[in-house]
Amino acid sequence: MVDANNTSPFNAVPRVVVLLCLVIAAGELVFWAGSAGLIGGMGYGSNALRLEAVAQFSYFPDATRWMLQVGELRLDYLWRFVTYPFVHTSFVEAVFVIVFTLALGKMTAESFPAWVVLAVFFGAAIAGALIYTLLVSDNTPLIGGFPAAYGLIGSYTFLMWVGYGAMGANRLNAFRLIGFLLGIQLLFGVLFGSNNTWIAEFAGFGAGFVIAALAVPGAIGRIAARLRQR
């Protein structure tokens, strides 16, 4: 008989999801150590490590535009497609991303193998950066894991879409979560102003939905057939 008091709370969360969150949390631990003077010395500055990480790991659209113009691929630019989700502008932002990743990643991992979770997370980050580069003219960097987390929302939405269809219910109900988040984005934009990074987030959502569908054999064909019927 298993003693519930000795059961780890992490047992219910798939390891691939825990690993993604631990990488994000590790970065915040390093930033805390820097602010406490444990790394770099007391005169290093509370935000110095975070600012260095933003400079080294965030995604800059102009770098991709330059590679496309000259036809040259540079590893120090390409790796930013998959590093920017792990560095955040604040501790609070990192906490929100971890919460999203734990909740939505767990739901995705319960229905798909670990490689699909990774494909959704990183695929959404890459797709978000590419769509952001195509639609935005400035060089405002992408930093933080929201595009990747929105990819997990996309995969969860696909699962709900399939579930509602199996029950004969209205499949549009599956999009309530992303609709709610879109409303929050619009509200915050009106009240506090916003930049164009939301484009990457919703592109990440779309990528997560598509990747999840591709992971189910025949799912794309069934979706296309249903759309043609309409």
Q: CATH number, domain at 120?
A: 1.20.1540.10
Instruction: Give pLDDT tens digits for 158-172.
Output: 998 888 777 878 778
Residue 33 sits in which domain range?
4-229
Cα end-to-end distance, the chain, whole Å: 53
Instruction: Give pLDDT tens digits for 104-116.
Output: 999 899 889 999 9
Angstrom distance (rounded) from CA 30 to CA 49: 8
Of 121, 111, 89, the C-alpha closest to 18 is 121
User: Residue 206: pLDDT above 90?
Assistant: yes
Between 144 and 226, the higher pLDDT residue: 144
Instruction: Give pLDDT tens digits for 33-54.
Output: 877 777 665 545 557 888 888 8
Classify burial at 187, counting beta carbons within 10 Å of its beta carbon; exposed 0-12, middle 13-18, buried 19 or more: exposed
Neighbours of 52 (CB within 10 A): 15
Q: How many domains does the chain have?
A: 1
Buried b / exposed e over 22-37, threshold 16 CB at 10 Å, is: eebeebbeebeebbee
Angstrom distance (rounded) from CA 210 to CA 173: 18
pTM, two decimals, is 0.85
